[in-house]
Chain A
Amino acid sequence: MFRYLRFYLTTLCTMLITLGLFFGEHWLWIPGLTYVVAIGLLDQLLKNDYDEKPYKYPALLDLALYLSLPTSFGLFFALFWVAGSGSQDAFGIGAYITSLSSIDVISIRNTTQWYHYIPMFLALTLPATGAGGLAGHELTHRTSRSFDLWLGRITLAFNWGIAFPIEHVYGHHTYVATEKDPATAARGDSLYQHLPKAMFRTITNAWEIETARLDKIGVHFLSPKNVLLRMCLIAVFMSLFAYYCAGWKGVAFHLMICTLTKVALEILNYVEHYGLVRNPNCPVQPRHSWNCNHVVSGVISYNLTRHSHHHSDAQIHYQDLLTHSDQPEMPNGLMAAYLSVLIPPLWRKLITPKLLEWDRTQAIKEEYELIREANLNSGWKALENSITNTGEYSAGQVITS
């Protein structure tokens, strides 16, 4: 039973964090911050998860994903309510909570100091990304199930994530670990060098993919068949809803959290594929992603951490992903790696030996030339020790007598 319930953890925590928002001041950020720190710490303390037993009731696991839409909507609504001032109280929710708890939440909100908002946005970034982005990601991969696809795209559109569902499925998955992929960071690129490039190219790529498709089916760009426009309408609706709840301040809050979730998803991509190299003519293999089998990171990200299998077969539902424990592993679990990349010198220290190991044990000879080039362009001196520079052969290959 717990095997199923654990995938409801993200939803449950997001709901608690959402509830906290109504109580103002430090409750705006303590729950969110606790959530992030707890994941990082528990990852280190608990044993890794190598569970590959099949699940008998996939519908229960689908439900965990479907709940992300109302959860995500609830989080946004609470945030818009926080942005409100004076007597603003959309749908009378503040008065209702006051009547239940006899705490005057509206006046606490109105007297909450501005400096609580800064940690609030930072602490809400990951929960909002989890509820919206990660569940939405899983659902938008299910292209043959129209309900799932529809739900996933709406969930992402709440976050103004309108390029992601198109670019990710039809761009990133096709081009991963090659130069054409906006999300694969080049060796040597710090997070802050990579982010602007990646975010810009994700949008332009999505645009190109969708216009090419519309051109193929002979439909004008301004057509209801344009998926980008349809999702854009949902995103506009969400911003209008923010305006309804809290005026321009609500819209500003919405755009702020949307920007942060975009950044958060790109950081995730940065961690998942940093510096990996593939010959564009060879199929995507498990080794073209950094894998992670830390249990808490896996559970809260709907097994996105089993990234090696996800990329080698993107149609597999999250519960059926294999652990691929022989595949390249990111340093210290997803959450710890995620936080490490924010400090570029630390990340460089952690990832350099991992890259050298990848070159030595995972890369195949056809990739050596590309790796040498990537190492040279990185400007990282330590990468000169790569096996690709020594002329020895990969340990992964069979040598017969």
Chain B
Amino acid sequence: MFKFFQKNQYQLTVDGYAPIQLEHKETVLNGALRSSIGFPHSCKAGGCAACKCKLVSGKVKELTDKSYMLTKEELEQNMILGCQSIPKSDVIIELPNNPQQQQECTGTIILQRKLTADIAEIIINIDTPLNYLSGQFAQISAVDESHPERSYSFAHASPINMGGKPCISFIVRAVPSGKMSNWLHSNEALGKDVDIKASYGDFYLRQNTQPMICIARGSGLAPLISILEYALTLPAQRQRNITLLFGARSQKDLYYLEEIEAIKSQWQGVFIFKAVLSDEDPASDWQGCRGKVTDFLSSYLTNACINEGEAYLCGPPTMVDEATKNLLSLGINKNKLYFDKFSDQGR
């Protein structure tokens, strides 16, 4: 008897992901997003075609006329708009190759701005603009060296201007015995060319009005700065309440404090910024928080943030794992935790 009622619930399979049981009248896009599949999308109203995908098998009901948006080839290939398609049977969907992930260019290192003893901002002049979402990362390799390719997050929301040259920048920590990161810091890298592949990662700003807590350690601050700079350009986003916790070893390992203050001064919601030092000399003049950055979550997490807010975490795996554990135990929704866990080793 129950089968009768379940008649309209179909199964959605996207690429290699596990099949999803769709809810009644749920669109392909919403089903995929509910299951945390990184399905590309933008307007959700059939007006941008960002969610176009291939209907490999099955039938869908289409809410809007896709033939204005898609090319003849795409129509012939049975492409559909994910946001405007409600399955009428079990369906299999294939996502197109993401053009965002197929950008390549060569740039020249024009400045290594020393931020702390082991962290520098590497500024690279590029000729062709790269599209990226704030919070995403690129893969970088040296043109003339055999050092392994490494991933670094874009450190700003938009290209910066250095003496008339459009530049992107990355915050790089020189990791002991890390060939690539030490080369990027070295004198010989200045003026050298690097290959850049972009843009990757699903660590980016989710646009809503809920409060957010951002936690960074070390060079993990870069994607958060990029996200905050971007949020500052959006009237609704800069009104969100935000807490930014920045972990470092000691005072001399802190950087970008002026940039953070500048963002804070233009922010329209409540903006709390705390630096937390783990190895600061007990006898020093430091008046701020001491200890592990993850130990301060309960002190700075408001009830509103626990109930409906989002958390953005970026830093070494131990920090991200511990922060995740603490945030979950405080009661934050695990679907609202976004993180970029980088491996600091060997960079």
Q: Which residues of A contact B (CB under 8 A)?
A: 52, 141-144, 146, 169-170, 209, 213, 215-217, 313-315, 322-326, 365-366, 391, 393-394, 397-401
In the complex, 7 of the A-B residue pairs with CB atoms within 8 angstroms, ordered by the A residue number, are A141-B47, A169-B68, A215-B72, A391-B164, A397-B160, A398-B158, A401-B113
The answer, yes or no, to whether B63 is at the interface (CB within 8 Å) is yes
Q: Is the interface of B mostly helix, strand, loop or mixed?
A: loop
Known pairs A209-B68, A323-B235 / 5 extra A-B pairs, C-beta < 8 Å: A141-B47, A169-B47, A325-B235, A397-B160, A399-B160
A215, A315, A326, A399: which contacts B44 (Cβ < 8 A)?
Answer: A315
Chain B residue total in the interface (Cβ 8 A): 32
Q: Is the interface of A mostly helix, strand, loop or mixed?
A: loop
The 7 closest A-B pairs by CB, nearest first: A315-B45, A315-B43, A216-B72, A144-B64, A144-B46, A144-B45, A397-B161
CA distance A146 to B64 in the complex (A): 8
The answer, yes or no, to whether B112 is at the interface (CB within 8 Å) is no
Query: Distance (Å) between the CB of A390 and the closest chain B CB?
Result: 12
CB within 8 Å for A365 and B161 given contacts A144-B84, A322-B235? yes
CA distance A398 to B232 in the complex (A): 13
Total cross-chain contacts (CB, 8 A): 71
Query: Distance (Å) between the CB of A246 and the closest chain B CB?
Result: 37
CB within 8 Å for A314 and B47 given contacts A324-B235, A400-B162? yes
Q: CB within 8 Å of A: which of B162-205?
A: 162, 164, 166, 169
Query: B43 — which chain A residues lie within 8 A by C-beta?
Result: 313-315
CB within 8 Å for A399 and B161 given contacts A143-B47, A322-B236? yes
Query: A146 — which chain B residues lie within 8 A by C-beta?
Result: 63-64
Q: Which residues of B contact A (CB under 8 A)?
A: 43-48, 63-65, 67-68, 70-72, 75, 84, 113, 121, 123, 129, 156, 158-162, 164, 166, 169, 229, 235-236
Query: B160 — which chain A residues lie within 8 A by C-beta?
Result: 397-400
Query: B164 — which chain A residues lie within 8 A by C-beta?
Result: 391, 393
CA distance A315 to B160 in the complex (A): 31
Q: Are B161 and A393 in contact (CB under 8 A)?
A: yes
CA distance A358 to B113 in the complex (A): 32
Query: Distance (Å) between the CB of A213 and the closest chain B CB?
Result: 5
CA distance A142 to B45 in the complex (A): 8
Query: Distance (Å) between the CB of A220 and the closest chain B CB?
Result: 15
Q: Are A315 and B67 in contact (CB under 8 A)?
A: no
Query: A215 — which chain B residues lie within 8 A by C-beta?
Result: 72
Q: Which residue from chain B places its CB closest to the CB of A212 in the assembled complex?
A: B72
Query: B229 — which chain A residues lie within 8 A by C-beta?
Result: 398
Q: Which residue from chain A places its CB closest to the CB of B45 in the assembled complex?
A: A315
B65, B129, B169: which contacts A143 (Cβ < 8 A)?
Answer: B65
CB within 8 Å for A217 and B75 given contacts A398-B160, A398-B161? yes
Query: A141 — which chain B residues lie within 8 A by C-beta?
Result: 47
